[in-house]
Amino acid sequence: MPEQCRYYVLGAFILGVALTAAYNKQASHQVSEDASSNRLLKQQQKLISKFARIDDLDTLKKSLLELESSFGTGTDTIKEGVEGCIGDTPLIKIKSLSDYTGCEILAKAEFLNGAGNSPKDRVALNIIDVAEGKGLLVPHSGDTIYEGTVGSTGISLAAICRARGYKAHICMPNDMAIEKSDLLLKLGAEVERVRPAPIVDQNQFVNLARTRAAEHTSNPDKPGRGLFADQFETEANWRAHFTGTGPEIYEQTGGFLDAFVSGAGTGGTISGVALYLKSKLPDLKVVLADPPGSGLFNRVKYGVMFDPKEREGTRRRHQVDTIIEGIGINRVTHNFDIGRELIDDAIRVNDDQAVGMARWLVEHDGIFVGSSSAVNCVAAMRLAKMLGPGHRIVTILCDSGARHLSKFWKTETIGGAEDDVSLEGILDA
């Protein structure tokens, strides 16, 4: 059979499938008057008419591709609530860093998740889905999710709880940027800001959230039950990235990448992504980006959390004060431990480097991010310089700088003297 005839036969088959699918969709949903369905049907009718008039083989091939793509458009692209806007975030090339290093530095734009605008949207949604699947949550019953967080997970939980019919109670350290707790209040969450304390203290923000959940459940005068989200230890955390973020990165890069760089707070992102990507790409280099005061750098590099003179869990504050929020911790969580053996190296990033990078990204790429994203980008740039030109590195842009105005961005202004910040200066800071 001539090639052109084969394409016409294939096209006729696809057209038949398209018409049948369009008819069944209208019949099953009884939407003959629905404008969206009518638009989809008209689009397919136009393609049919165009197909019938084609006598050129190349044009015929192109039209078949257009017809195939039309199956994924129309009403099927409408998202189910704010939860439907979580995941499938774009992977963007950071042009200035790529040009400087000779590597392709790509960033997963997790600040474009549609509920709480951070990678924690994936975790919060998975925590709620798992709890609902186990019958632990009943919408509009007074059931309340409790969590200890420095901000982003709480914001994601608060937004999704509202969408699903639950309440949120967030415990957080009182030295976090005030706009985070303000946003939580606007989302209808109850917020407790408490003094910073080590995990061994029962009034530490995570422990307090666990206690508050138990108090709620045991109180006969309080409607519903309390559920402790437990983001640091729950399996729902790393699994959200193993089933979502990791596969998306693999697909978006076509499986061609040399390294993945990420900070760790709970550890869910770096573990989940590493577990997935290394199952596909065993030679992939996974690198931790860690801020001052965190013990994870030493854990990865040297196998211990602290200097030998210190004992894990006894320090009341970070060894080094830092303005970086959201990443860095002085204990090994379950979510970090699950992927720890897959982390090949760690890069320490200080405050000056993070601030310089944040300013650089605004001035040269129009990207406005918070402190953890800046740390990730510094580490990605340093890794690129170590690997040499020609490599592809993926990192994470976690959240917008709008959540860090009162702390990380407090003294920084953009648009000052020309070239008052340089990438060489950032690396040397």
| Torsion, CA 249, CA 254, CA 258, CA 260, rounded to 10 | 0
In degrees and rounded to multiples of 5, residue 390 shows phi and psi of: 95, 0
pLDDT of residue 316: 45
Q: Looking at per-residue confidence, does 31 or 384 come out higher?
A: 384
Nearest to 168 by CA among 224, 122, 243, 104: 224
Query: What is the spatial distance between Cα 420 and Cα 47, in angstroms, rounded to a whole number?
Result: 55
- Within this chain, do residues 286 and 423 fall inside the same structural domain, yes or no? yes
- Within this chain, do residues 242 and 315 fall inside the same structural domain, yes or no? yes
Pick the range with the lowest mean pLDDT from 82-86, 168-172, 416-420.
Answer: 416-420
Range of the domain at 276: 87-113+238-428
CATH number of the structural domain spanning residue 137: 3.40.50.1100
Last residue of a domain, one of 204, 228, 252: 228
Going by their DSSP bridges, the two strands 285-290 and 104-109 should be labelled as unpaired
In a domain, 387, yes or no: yes
In a domain, 150, yes or no: yes
**372 catalytic per annotation:** yes
Query: Which whole-number Å values give the CA distances from 240 to 120, 145, 223, 394, in the listed order?
Result: 9, 18, 30, 18
The listed range with the strongest mean pLDDT (28-37, 87-96, 201-210) is 87-96
pLDDT in tens, 250-278: 999 999 999 999 999 999 999 999 999 99
- Within this chain, do residues 199 and 306 fall inside the same structural domain, yes or no? no
In a domain, 233, yes or no: no
Last residue of a domain, one of 21, 52, 77: 77
pLDDT of residue 37: 56
User: What percentage of the chain reaches a pLDDT higher than 90?
Assistant: 65
- Within this chain, do residues 42 and 107 fall inside the same structural domain, yes or no? no
Domains in the chain, number: 3
pLDDT of residue 404: 85
> 213: Cβ–Cβ under 8 A, 6 or more apart, which residues?
144, 146, 169, 226, 227, 228
Q: Looking at per-residue confidence, does 317 or 292 come out higher?
A: 292
- Within this chain, do residues 99 and 130 fall inside the same structural domain, yes or no? no
pLDDT of residue 295: 92
pLDDT of residue 150: 85
- Bridge partners (DSSP) listed for residue 290: 348
- Within this chain, do residues 298 and 280 fall inside the same structural domain, yes or no? yes
- Within this chain, do residues 148 and 168 fall inside the same structural domain, yes or no? yes
pLDDT of residue 319: 47
In a domain, 302, yes or no: yes
In a domain, 82, yes or no: no
Amino acid at 325: E
pLDDT of residue 28: 46
Query: What is the spatial distance between Cα 164 and Cα 128, in angstroms, rounded to a whole number?
Result: 9
Confidence tier at 29 by pLDDT (50, 70, 90): very low
Please report, in angstroms and rounded to a whole number, the separation of the first and last CA atoms in the chain. 69
Query: Which whole-number Å values give the CA distances from 334 to 209, 212, 255, 272, 310, in the listed order?
Result: 18, 22, 28, 12, 22
pLDDT of residue 271: 98
Give how far the C-alpha of residue 6 lies from the chain's centroid of Cα atoms, to the nearest Å: 45
**22 has a pLDDT exceeding 60:** no
**417 has a pLDDT exceeding 80:** no
Q: Looking at per-residue confidence, does 196 or 420 come out higher?
A: 196
Query: What is the spatial distance between Cα 247 and Cα 225, in angstroms, rounded to a whole number?
Result: 35
- Within this chain, do residues 203 and 302 fall inside the same structural domain, yes or no? no
Q: Give yes or no for a contact between 96 and 381, defined as CB atoms under 8 angstroms apart.
A: no
- Within this chain, do residues 36 and 171 fall inside the same structural domain, yes or no? no
**409 has a pLDDT exceeding 90:** no
pLDDT of residue 396: 98
Going by their DSSP bridges, the two strands 91-93 and 345-348 should be labelled as unpaired
Which residue bears the tokens 């914001």? 155
pLDDT of residue 49: 61
**120 catalytic per annotation:** yes
The active-site residue, picked from 63, 108, 120, 181, is 120
Give how far the C-alpha of residue 46 lies from the chain's centroid of Cα atoms, to the nearest Å: 39
If you average pLDDT over residues 55-70, what whole number do you get? 61
Going by their DSSP bridges, the two strands 167-173 and 259-262 should be labelled as unpaired
pLDDT of residue 62: 63
- Within this chain, do residues 199 and 262 fall inside the same structural domain, yes or no? no
Alpha helices in 194-295 (DSSP H): 205-218, 235-240, 246-252, 268-280
pLDDT in tens, 358-381: 999 999 999 999 999 999 999 999
- pTM for this one? 0.80
Tokens of 333: 């969580």
Q: Give yes or no for a contact between 238 and 272, defined as CB atoms under 8 angstroms apart.
A: yes
Query: Which whole-number Å values give the CA distances from 81 to 156, 159, 233, 248, 308, in the listed order?
Result: 14, 11, 28, 21, 51
3-state secondary structure of 286: strand
Angle at 31 (CA atoms; ends 29, 36), nearest 5 degrees: 115
- Bridge partners (DSSP) listed for residue 397: 109
Amino acid at 387: L
- Within this chain, do residues 323 and 349 fall inside the same structural domain, yes or no? yes
In a domain, 191, yes or no: yes
**209 has a pLDDT exceeding 50:** yes
| Torsion, CA 316, CA 322, CA 327, CA 328, rounded to 10 | -50
Alpha helices in 227-370 (DSSP H): 235-240, 246-252, 268-280, 296-302, 334-337, 351-365
Element (H, E) at 317: none
If you average pLDDT over residues 148-166, what whole number do you get? 94
Beta-carbon neighbour count of residue 215 at 10 Å? 12
The active-site residue, picked from 63, 152, 372, 373, is 372
Summary mean pLDDT of the chain:
85
Which residue bears the tokens 């950071």? 94
Q: Give yes or no for a contact between 327 and 264, defined as CB atoms under 8 angstroms apart.
A: yes
Confidence tier at 305 by pLDDT (50, 70, 90): confident
Report the number of secondary-structure helices (H) and strands (E) in the chain.
Answer: 16, 10
Confidence tier at 238 by pLDDT (50, 70, 90): very high
pLDDT of residue 54: 59
pLDDT in tens, 327-362: 999 889 999 999 999 999 999 999 999 999 999 999
Going by their DSSP bridges, the two strands 91-93 and 104-109 should be labelled as antiparallel
